[in-house]
Amino acid sequence: MLTLTIPSIESYDEEKEEFIVSKGATLRVEHSLVSLSKWESKWCKPFLAKGVDKTFEETVDYISCMTIDQNVDPKVYLNISEDVIQEVNEYIGRPMTATIIKSQMGGSREIITAEIIYYWMIALSIPFECQKWHLNRLLMLINVCNIKNGPQKKMGRKELMKRNTDLNAARRKALNTRG
């Protein structure tokens, strides 16, 4: 979870000839499958697609989808600055896990959407409470499940010969024989 401080902003309304103060707020946000799903249902485009730029309005709206606080005044989002957006983007990019997978499955050109991630969760029996995790952590769990459920790596010739030698030695010792 990330805590954002949105400052109050004072502006001048020239028509009414008066100063207007837009209240700030402290927001708690989470980059999760829930927020991704909300945003994609509103904008009808994949959030995670590479090469698809988001407008300032779409980015600010994603921050509102990420907000886990209740009853936030929508006007607060009008005060979001580029610095806050940068902070959010850095947060989105964090791995949020200590797990490292040496050979990532790459090359897939499938566009990943919230529904695809929900499908993976169902296929791998990942509980739906994980949809509130940081998205990168959830994607790492999905990756780990795929690797652990996948076919085991075959032993190399040297490894196989060493294993057989060790097994034969253990059997000879257990049976008290020489061959």
Does the global pTM surpass 0.95?
no
* Beta carbons within 10 angstroms of residue 80's beta carbon: 19
User: Is 178 a domain residue?
Assistant: no
Instruction: Please state, as a whole number, how many other Cβ atoms lie within 10 Å of the Cβ of residue 68.
Output: 14
Residue 12 included in any domain:
yes
**Which two three-digit tokens encode residue 178?**
């020489």
Tell me how far the alpha carbon of residue 152 is from its chain's centroid: 27
The H or E element spanning position 5 is strand 2-6
E strand spans, 65-119: none
Q: What is the pLDDT of residue 106?
A: 53
Identify the pLDDT of residue 1.
94
pLDDT digits (tens, 9 = 90+) for 132-152: 999 999 999 999 999 889 887
Q: Print the domain residue range for 20.
A: 2-101+108-149
Residue 171 covered by a domain: no
The answer to the question of residue 14 being in a domain is: yes
Return the pLDDT at 77: 93
Which one, of 90, 93, 96, 88, lies nearest residue 63 by Cα? 88
What averages of pLDDT result for each successive group of 10 residues across the chain (179 residues)?
A: 91 82 91 96 92 92 96 91 95 89 62 92 96 94 92 84 90 84
User: What does the alpha-carbon distance between residue 33 and residue 133 come to, in Å, rounded to a whole number?
Assistant: 7
Strands (E), 7-155: 9-13, 18-22, 25-29
Structure confidence at residue 107 (pLDDT): 54
Q: Is residue 143 part of a domain?
A: yes
Between CA 23 and CA 14 the distance in angstroms is 19
Residue at 155 is within a domain? no
Q: Flag whether 172 is in a domain.
A: no
- Residue 170 half-sphere exposure, CB side, CA atoms within 13 Å? 6
Instruction: Tell whether 122 is covered by a domain.
Output: yes
Q: How many domains does the chain have?
A: 1
